[in-house]
Amino acid sequence: MGSGDIVGIGFVGLGVMGQPMALNLLRAGYPLTVYNRTAARAAPLAEAGASVAVSPRAVAAASPVVFVNVADDAAVEAVLFGPEGLVHGLAPEAVVVDMGTTSPAATRAFARRLAERGCTLLDAPVSGGEAGARAGTLSIMVGGPQAAFVRVLPLLEVLGRNIVHVGESGAGQVAKACNQIVVSATLMGVAEALTFARRQGVDAARVREALLGGFAYSRILEVHGRRMLAGDYTPGFRARLHQKDLGIVSREAQALNLALPASALAAQLMNALVASGQAEADSSALVQVIEQLCGLAPDKPADS
């Protein structure tokens, strides 16, 4: 499928993730119509050649495929079904691709409501952070009908590299929740290990090196472990977003009667990290909470 098959693409939500993703679609040659609640954030897209619409409804009217990347369940609902929502402009057969992190339960409900009007919702949340959005190297976990997935795959390939159709509607959001569960548990382990080493008087950087070669290897140990050693918490993936995602895990766990003690612990530590004033730091700053608990002053980068 070339760019000719999908005449126009819509993009609603031009935040720290959405803006670089929309730019990548534009640069790949797709005609783009965008909307953002705070209009100023649409300016860089307009300069790069995108049309700016006055509402999600107007985006929908111009686009058989619309990407959405907004903050939370309530924002997705407003974009889809609000008074000026997509639903009022979408053509039958249109596909909406929600790339934000939404709860699986809400996603499934939204998909049903769109299906009643002949449209399709794909849930397609991403992993890879702001850097991955800019570089077009995101991991994308997709839930929803196979046909719609095949139809938008060429567009997703502009945005990311590791694109998996996980299953039915909601399965992408479930995979994203699983991703955040694994990442937060691994962050806790790396944070505790490096703090253990420091308080034992052992060079934590050497310990990390030793561990990278064996079964303890993870990308978190490699990438975020380095951030912890350097004390450099430039995001990356912001603590407040990780906190939000663990809130989704917590609510789903309660709804399904799941006991997830490690995830629940990680959520509390993430709350503590945000409480300490680090909402906008990379979530690997979690190590500071462990350091504090262990009586260590936070690690300082060498020269700053």
Residues within window 139-158 making contact with a copy of itself, judged by CB under 8 A: 139, 141
Q: Is 231 helix (H, G, I), strand (E, B) or coil?
A: coil
Computed over its alpha carbons, how large is the radius of gyration of the chain? 20
Nearest distance from C-beta of residue 90 to a copy of itself, angstroms: 27
- Only one of the segments 15-23, 32-40, 85-93, 289-297 lies at the binding site for a copy of itself (rule: CB under 8 A); that segment is 289-297
Query: 33, 7, 124, 41: which is closest to 76 by C-alpha?
Result: 124
Q: In terms of CB distance, is 135 or 185 closer to a copy of itself?
A: 185
Q: Exactly one of 108, 151, 176, 238 is catalytic; name it.
A: 176
- Only one of the segments 63-71, 91-99, 109-117, 171-179 lies at the binding site for a copy of itself (rule: CB under 8 A); that segment is 171-179
Would residue 300 show up in a list of annotated catalytic residues for this protein?
no
Contact flag: residue 166 with a copy of itself (CB under 8 A): yes
Q: In terms of CB distance, is 89 or 172 closer to a copy of itself?
A: 172
Residue the block writes with tokens 């002053």: 297
Contact flag: residue 250 with a copy of itself (CB under 8 A): yes
State the helix-helix crossing angle for 239-256 and 104-115, rounded to 10 degrees: 80
Task: Pick the binder of a copy of itself from 186, 227, 229, 233 (CB under 8 A).
Answer: 186
Instruction: Work out the burial of residue 109: count CB atoms within 10 Å of its CB; fewer than 13 is exposed, 13-18 middle, 19 or more buried.
Output: middle
Task: Pick the binder of a copy of itself from 72, 247, 280, 298 (CB under 8 A).
Answer: 247
Distance of CA 67 to the CA centre of its chain: 14
Helix or strand (DSSP H, E) at 248? helix 239-256
Nearby residues of 76 by Cβ (< 8 Å), 6 or more positions away: 68, 70, 98, 100, 102, 106, 110
**Neighbouring C-beta atoms of residue 17, cutoff 10 Å:** 23
Per CB under 8 A, contacts with a copy of itself among 187-246 are 188-190, 192-197, 199-200, 202-203, 206-207, 209-211, 213-221, 223, 243
Nearest distance from C-beta of residue 259 to a copy of itself, angstroms: 4
Question: Which residues carry out catalysis?
Answer: 176
